[in-house]
Amino acid sequence: MKTAEIRRRFLDFFVRNDHTEVPSASLMHHDPTLLFVNAGMVPFKPYFIGAEDAPYARATSVQKCVRTLDIEEVGKTTRHGTFFQMNGNFSFGDYFKEEAIAYAWEFSTGAVEDGNLGFDPERIWVTVLDGDEEAEAYWKSVGMPADRIQHRGLADNYWNMGVPGPGGPCSEIYFDRGPEYGPDGGPEADEDRFLEFWNLVFMQEELATVRSKTDFDVARPLPRPNIDTGMGLERVAYLMQGKQNMYEIDQVFPVISRAAELSGREYGADATSDVRLRVVADHVRSGMMLINDGVTPGNEGRGYVLRRLLRRAVRAMRLLGVTDPVLPELFPLSRDVMADSYTEIAEQWQRISDVAYAEEDAFRRTLEAGTQIFDVAVSDAKKSQASVLPGAQAFQLHDTYGFPIDLTMEMAAEHGLKVDRDEFSRLMTEQRERAKADAKAKKGGATNVEAYRELRHGGESTFIGYTELETDARVLGIVDAGSSVPAASAGSVVEIVLDTTPFYAESGGQDADRGTITAPGLELKIVDVQSPVQGLIVHRVEVVSGEVTVDQQVHARVDADHRAGACRAHSATHIVHAVLRETVGPTAVQSGSYNKPGYLRFDFQSTHGLDADQRAEIEGRSNEAITADHEVTSQTLPLNEAREMGAMAMFGEKYPDMVRMVEMNGPWSRELCGGTHVRHSSQIGLLTLLNEQSIGSGVRRVEAFVSTDAFRHLAAERALVSNLSGMLKVQPDQLTERVGKLVADLKDAEKQLAAHRSKEILGNAAGLVESAQDRGGVAVVAQHVAGVGGGDLRQLAQEIRGRLGDRPGVVALVGGTDEKPAVVVATTTGARERGLRAGALVKDACAALGGRGGGKDDLAQGGGSDSTGIDKALASVEAAVDAA
């Protein structure tokens, strides 16, 4: 049974049992505690913790997940994979243990022809929490014999989020794979033979504190117990398909097969090669799914994870002997097997492939740079007659250049060296601990929403800002430093919640409104407006005068000019998006935006920058759309209907079932958007592009001024042109030609000056050669040549070395400036035969200057910051010659 069919059967089963089918959330789900969605319940977390009201009593989903904590273990076991899919069914205060167990049993063991999986009931085992007699009784009621129900402790069979919130016992379902996989005795005896494939969580308690997985305090029973289950789709697939592990299922193995073919290896013949092939297959699929959800390679956060996955895949293929580009061979295979479940992959394929292939090209260049660093490390080790490469250097190669430890170890072995794996592991552990501490800090910070939740339980904030800019309102609550307070007086900065508000909360890239909240004797200045909990609009205010109290009647007024400016900028952002898709193509998908009165920036996915003609075309088309006076309309409609109409949506953005769609010139610009807009495009006035640049691998950014800010910018440029024309005494249309001639003349003058300087410097070479000292048969020129730096210093050192002829010689020159002294060391063949290496000599010289240096045996250079050490630097070279 194919993986896609298992997925469909699961969803259909629960839909037949009155569950709402919920599409998978993006892997970039908006949860401040997570880098990626790592469990099926994550999109439903706000409902479980009470931050939002669930829109349905029952739900089912197949959620895309990524876990990267054990990335180094991928391919080594059947349990570690970065991307996986979690089937789940959920109840929000509806059914509980009895029904959850009955559903799981029926779907697992029911007949295949009835839409179930058809597992042999005799091979099913379950575990329950010690003391959960209720769950045990329900299992017995569906036919599970008592001798295949095992009781386990909190560590195995109790679930919580690691922070205060809901928790409860769980019941895990296992499949007996047979005696060839391990000893008998159920999950307690062996979890390789008895493989867990479904976990039923019974959320029934609210935890007050959580010190560890097994140490926590229960505050009270939940008023409405919930169900959260997770069935590993890949695990079920390899059980149903008779495979050994998740890498051999139909959605993964085609990549292994092709990678084996490219490398000339046979899968299953060699354990080391098999691990590498599994790494390739896992990371190709994971990378493709991350790019599909809008992640682009980068040096931090989500982008770094994607970059690491793609580069590990390429590195694994190199270790298998394949040095040609591999992702164009492997990505299409993963696309073809995943498209049955995720049709958007085919729709986004051009963008996905562009990002992946560009990253491989970039890594191939980086690999060359890293190899050079590796070669220097090997050379240093051999000079010191060491047999072990320091772990710190291996870690630098891993952390800076993306070299995995196995690649470094293999390359070191080719030079007869080992790697200090213990030191490398220690540094890796320290890095992981820092990451865990950071994640824990973020998790703890994300729980401080209790005051907002309490206010939200009193009802939603009604937003009327689409049509009204001021209104009378009542103060529902005041929050100060995370706690509800009854009042706030002049001079304080607090958060205010109103029953009705015209103020737009920052979202969708649009800056928050500004304005005032007033009452007799009271003035509050709006500092910011946010929506920390769905349905609740929170106004951060400075109490200018008076005292504000809960239940007070006030008058809220939006700054009309600020709002109008925000509307113009936001509508201009939609225009730029539409024009970019026309100019660059449909792969120019939005990656982010920000707009405020007079200014916008728009990030889009593209592996190529915009040339001058494209920038001019984008600016021109945008202004044509503005002057065309397109009507800007909005409507509220079901999410699926909006998507069918082609409405653009942000990757990773969470949308409700009913959405607001903003249109400009009909389908030309059709986006899901909750922001405020002009009524006609002509109200924007004018747009001028400021610049276009890369902000990360595969992501570009354009910035623009809008309306009067655009006019002021153009007026300033006009004044600049006028001033330059006056200075150069030419007409504006002749300015480019005149400046070009000046630049050409300047370059010619610089060349002549450089030639003169070079001649002068080289003219000093003869005198410096005459200053050479004979130190044990080696001619040494060690001099301070003030003011000579860069290429001139290097050229002078080479000239002197050439004039020394065939005799052993060392040239050490210190030049540069007092602030940044520079060093160049050059050696002749005769000197090198005596063991005098320029790279080693320059390191000692630079150390005396408080800096570093390096290079080859015949020529090396470096610098420092302490010019008082110049004499010491030159003396160090002379001493080294004396000791040779």
Query: Does 673 appear as a known binding residue?
Result: yes
Whole-number Å distance between alpha carbons of 838 and 844: 10
- For the chain, give me the number of helices (H) and strands (E)? 26, 35
Measure Cα distances from 282 to 275, 307, 356 in Å: 11, 14, 15
SS3 category, 805: coil
Nearest in space to 662 (alpha carbons), one of 676, 644, 682, 643: 676
Structure tokens at 175: 């499949």
What is the per-residue burial (b if ≥16 Cβ within 10 Å, else e) of 821-843?
bbbbbbbbebbeebebbbbbbbb
Contact residues for 211 (Cβ-Cβ < 8 A; gap 6+):
none
Record the tokens describing residue 280, joined without a space: 């390739």
Q: 26: how many CB neighbours lie within 10 A of its CB? A: 22
Q: Which residues pair with 859 in a beta bridge?
A: 826
Can you tell me the distance from the alpha carbon of 357 to that of 313, in angstroms, rounded to the nearest whole number? Answer: 12
DSSP state at residue 655: -
Other Cβ atoms less than 10 A from the Cβ of 870: the count is 21
Q: What is the 3-state secondary structure (H, E, C) of 528-558?
A: EEEEEECCEEEEEEEEEECEEECCCEEEEEE
The b/e string for 591-601 (b: 16+ C-beta within 10 A; e otherwise) is bbbbbbbbbbb
Q: State yes or no: 570 annotated in a binding site.
A: yes
Give yes or no for a contact between 308 and 402, defined as CB atoms under 8 angstroms apart.
yes
- The structure tokens listed for 596 are 């405020």
Among 149, 173, 282, residue whose Cα is nearest residue 232: 173
Distance CA 460, CA 656 (A): 15
Nearest residue to 874 via CA among 840, 846, 835: 846
Residue where the block lists tokens 């920390």: 532
Q: Are 326 and 317 in contact (CB under 8 A)?
A: yes
Nearest-5° angle of CA 712, CA 718, CA 724? Answer: 140
Question: To which H or E segment does residue 359 belong?
Answer: helix 349-383
Amino acid at 298: G
Q: Among candidates 107, 136, 137, 108, which has minimal Cα distance to 120?
A: 108
Alpha carbon 638 to its chain centroid, in Å, reads: 30
- For the chain, the residue count is 884
Decide: 273 and 265 in contact? Cβ < 8 Å.
Answer: yes
User: Which parts of 202-326 fold into alpha helices (H)?
Assistant: 233-240, 253-263, 271-292, 301-319
Q: In sequence order, what E strands does 177-264 have?
A: 194-210, 216-232
Task: For residue 556, give both structure tokens.
Answer: 């809220």
Fill in the amino acid letter for 582.
Answer: E
Cα 171 to Cα 108: distance, rounded to the nearest angstrom? 14
Assigned token pair, 461: 């904030």
> What's the CA gap between 709 and 658, in Å, rounded?
36
* Other Cβ atoms within 10 Å of 610 Cβ, number: 21
Helix spans in 628-782 (H):
639-644, 708-728, 735-763, 765-770
User: What stretches of 607-669 show up as alpha helix (H) in DSSP?
Assistant: 612-627, 639-644
Q: What is the DSSP letter of 732?
A: G
Annotated binding-site residues read 570, 574, 673, 677
Annotated binding-site residues for Zn(2+) read 570, 574, 673, 677
